[in-house]
Amino acid sequence: MTSNSSVFNQPSMQLFLIVALCLVSALIFSLMGGLAVILFYGFDISSFYDYSNPNTIEGLKLFQLLSSIGLFIVPPIVYALITSKSILPALNLNQVSKPINWVLVLFIMVVASPIMAWVVEVNAQMSLPSFMSSIEDWMKQSEASAEVLTKAFISFNGLASLFYILLIVAVVPAIGEELLFRGVIQKIFTNWTNNHHIAIWVTAILFSALHMQFYGFLPRMLLGVFFGYLLVWTGSLWLPILGHFINNGSVVVLSYFYPELMENTELNVFNEDGKTWLPTIISFILVAVGIFLFKKLNTQKIETGN
């Protein structure tokens, strides 16, 4: 009888497995989330877009939390159980990494603010050909809807709500999305192509595309590339998780203390105006130095197999 490990030895089967697990788990947790929202908040479909209703917002937060767990966290764990004897090594969670790496990730994420703001601005100016105007209108409408929902989500009612929103917006996405994309999908494409550069870029494109926010595609993709190389250079998934948490959590924390920042709802630390060249140039130099030091201090390579 063929063992599970041999059945899923091929990258194509590994990709099929993780996609199937994501679909099944997302469906189950979405149903659970929908039921929980109905039971706890009396949610009904007629109030789905009524963002002025506190019950609607709280219900959507709970649904988002449960569906994110179902889509991003559960599938990689089940995948690791099926394909490997040990979850932590399979997902690159067994190494915490040295303290200097944590400091460098924090440094790079902070000093990257101006240059990434410039990338955000460039991406926001994207314009499609006239014959694709209907698609462009749909993309803009989708972006506007996402912005309205984000503003509704990042609404606070005391310190407890800050931690709850951090859990939904920063903690679960940072852990879950890195488990799925860098911990599983990137490794599958590395096995498939025998080239971690191709795997990193393909995974980053998929990572950004899944968010369905077209006018933030490029900066999100570049973040995915950075997180991918962090994993390759150190063999630890905790560093991409840290970078991801800083990216998402910074706006939540800043919006709590400075509510005027709610006018900029792009969920990342890059909230400069991106219009001054000197900070952008300095930012590019500091990021380059930070990445050079990071790579210099880390020579470990992760295994290409699961």
Question: In the chain, what are the domain boundaries?
Answer: 90-297
Interval 218-269: pLDDT, tens: 999 999 999 999 999 999 999 999 999 999 999 889 888 887 666 555 545 4
Interval 134-165: pLDDT, tens: 777 767 777 777 777 777 778 778 888 899 99
The helix or strand, by DSSP H or E, that contains position 277, with its residue range, turns out to be helix 277-297
pTM score of the predicted model: 0.87
For residues 178 and 194, the answer to whether their CB atoms sit within 8 Å is no
Q: How many Cα atoms occupy the beta-carbon half-sphere of 302 within 13 Å?
A: 34
pLDDT attached to residue 17: 96
Rounded Cα–Cα distance for residues 192 and 10 (Å): 8
The backbone torsions φ and ψ at residue 49, rounded to the nearest 5 degrees and listed phi first, read: -105, 15
Please indicate whether residue 157 or residue 172 has the higher confidence score (pLDDT).
172
Rounded Cα–Cα distance for residues 23 and 19 (Å): 6
pLDDT for residue 185 is more than 80 = yes
Rounded Cα–Cα distance for residues 289 and 142 (Å): 37
pLDDT attached to residue 18: 97
Q: Which amino acid is at 297?
A: L
Interval 21-69: pLDDT, tens: 999 999 999 999 989 988 888 776 666 666 677 788 888 899 999 999 9
When pLDDT is cut at 50, 70 and 90, the band that residue 204 belongs to is very high
For residues 227 and 182, the answer to whether their CB atoms sit within 8 Å is yes
Taking alpha carbons only, the member of 142, 147, 100 closest to residue 265 is 147
